[in-house]
């Protein structure tokens, strides 16, 4: 069986440290090339994985060995880069959000259908072991009885991390270019609960704000709160912040069952079960970051669909 030739486009943290090493290890994929306009980054990863490097999409599309692309460029370039690969007949795994607005997103989806190429959104947490185990425990083990009646999710991203990644003049703070930081970093969580509950959102109410952080020379912090009712009756509250100290746990998900039991996911590494009798750790993920976060499994699934 011929391996699928893959090019990773965009070599920031997600592309360089999650997608590239994942593609390099999967059975049916071959990391043919990496592409980034930053020559230093492109050279670094091309040398590390023994593959070709390209400094532009135009150059990469001349390579006949590239069957598919994993696109992890900044939001403002999602639409342009995705459309170029689609028009060239290449399959794509595109990091979220697909576009900076619904208009761009719809155009990407329509173009992929017309070109008859596979378009997969980058929703790695559905492949993360911790969330797959939670779904199994809910569905198979019935640890929450008939299922969760309420879920509380919170995601705290430290202000110093955002300041280091996105200075005050970064594209991330321009809503027209990126959709905003909350949209950039947290849109996946809405899909995660649709998947966990196998249900759609019936209604949602949300408020959000952002403010400058003098401590970090004008980088913005943000707060977002939402409450959603799903069609199966489950109530989900969502809390997001990009303006907190670095010692906070990044994410925490609490699922309350109709039998009063509580499942708690701490980041992507630990599940705790709270019953009338015990509060104990019932599952721990012992895996490298790419597998713990689900990027490896996500890329593997994408390539297997093409093989």
Residue found by looking up tokens 């011929």 in the block: 2
Q: Specify the pLDDT at position 214.
A: 86
How are beta strands 119-122 and 148-158 bridged, if at all?
Answer: unpaired
Q: With a cut of 90, say whether residue 82 has pLDDT above it.
A: yes
What is the domain range of residue 280?
A: 129-284
**Residue 23 host element (H or E):** helix 20-25
* 113, 180: one domain: no
* 265, 163: one domain: yes
Secondary structure E strands in the chain: 4-9, 29-35, 52-54, 68-71, 91-95, 119-122, 148-158, 201-212, 220-230, 235-244, 251-257, 262-266, 270-274, 279-284
Query: 230-244 burial, b for 16+ CB within 10 Å, e for fewer?
Result: beeebebebebbbbe
Using pLDDT thresholds of 50, 70 and 90, give the confidence band for residue 220.
confident
Q: With a cut of 90, say whether residue 1 has pLDDT above it.
A: no
* 172, 215: one domain: yes
* 117, 209: one domain: no
**CA–CA separation, 95 and 78 (whole Å):** 8
* 135, 278: one domain: yes
Tokens found for residue 245: 């100290």
For residue 152, is it within any domain? yes
For residue 95, is it within any domain? yes
109: domain CATH number is 3.40.50.720
Q: Specify the pLDDT at position 163.
A: 87
Using pLDDT thresholds of 50, 70 and 90, give the confidence band for residue 293.
very high
For residue 289, is it within any domain? no
243: domain CATH number is 3.30.360.10
| Residue 78 backbone phi and psi in degrees, to 5 | -55, -50
Q: Specify the pLDDT at position 246.
A: 77
For residue 239, is it within any domain? yes
* 147, 271: one domain: yes
Please check whether residue 193 is in contact with residue 126, taking contact to mean a CB–CB distance below 8 angstroms.
Answer: no
Q: With a cut of 90, say whether residue 224 has pLDDT above it.
A: yes
* 170, 269: one domain: yes
Q: With a cut of 80, say whether residue 133 has pLDDT above it.
A: yes
* 36, 112: one domain: yes
* 145, 89: one domain: no
**CA–CA separation, 25 and 35 (whole Å):** 18
Phi-psi label, residue 30: left if phi above 0, alpha if psi -120 to 50, beta otherwise:
beta
Q: With a cut of 90, say whether residue 29 has pLDDT above it.
A: yes
* 299, 262: one domain: no
Q: How many separate domains does the chain show?
A: 2
Mean pLDDT across 240-244: 91
* 110, 215: one domain: no
For residue 138, is it within any domain? yes
Tokens found for residue 157: 């991203």
Please check whether residue 160 is in contact with residue 216, taking contact to mean a CB–CB distance below 8 angstroms.
Answer: yes
Q: Specify the pLDDT at position 167.
A: 83
Please check whether residue 125 is in contact with residue 297, taking contact to mean a CB–CB distance below 8 angstroms.
Answer: no
Q: Specify the pLDDT at position 141.
A: 96
* 97, 135: one domain: no
For residue 90, is it within any domain? yes
**CA–CA separation, 97 and 101 (whole Å):** 9
For residue 277, is it within any domain? yes
For residue 278, is it within any domain? yes
């Amino acid at each position: 069986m011929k391996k699928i030739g893959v090019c990773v486009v965009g070599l920031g943290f997600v592309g360089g440290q999650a997608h590239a090493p994942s593609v390099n290890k999967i059975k049916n994929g071959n990391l043919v090339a990496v592409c980034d306009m930053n020559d230093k980054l492109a050279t670094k990863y091309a040398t590390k994985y023994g593959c070709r490097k390209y400094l532009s999409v135009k150059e990469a599309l001349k390579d006949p060995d590239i069957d598919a692309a994993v696109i992890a460029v900044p939001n403002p370039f999602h639409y342009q880069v995705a459309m170029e690969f689609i028009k060239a007949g290449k399959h794509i795994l595109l990091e979220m959000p697909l576009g900076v607005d619904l208009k761009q997103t719809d155009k990407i989806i329509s173009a992929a259908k017309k070109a008859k190429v596979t378009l997969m959104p980058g929703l790695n947490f559905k492949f993360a072991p911790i969330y797959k185990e939670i779904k199994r425990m809910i569905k198979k083990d019935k640890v929450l009885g008939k299922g969760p009646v309420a879920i509380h999710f919170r995601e705290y991203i430290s202000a110093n991390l955002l300041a280091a990644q996105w200075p005050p003049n970064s594209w991330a703070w321009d809503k027209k270019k990126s959709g905003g930081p909350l949209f950039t970093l947290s849109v996946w969580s809405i899909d995660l609960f649709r998947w966990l509950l196998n249900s759609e959102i019936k209604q949602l109410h949300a408020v959000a704000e952002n403010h400058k952080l003098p401590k970090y020379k004008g980088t913005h912090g943000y707060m977002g709160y939402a409450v959603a009712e799903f069609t199966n009756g489950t109530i989900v509250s969502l809390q997001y912040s990009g303006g907190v100290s670095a010692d906070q746990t990044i994410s925490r998900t609490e699922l309350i069952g109709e039998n009063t039991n509580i499942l708690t996911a701490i980041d992507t590494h630990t599940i705790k079960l709270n019953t009338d009798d015990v509060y104990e750790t019932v599952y721990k993920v012992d895996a490298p970051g790419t597998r713990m976060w689900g990027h490896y499994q996500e890329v593997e699934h994408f390539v297997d669909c093409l093989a």
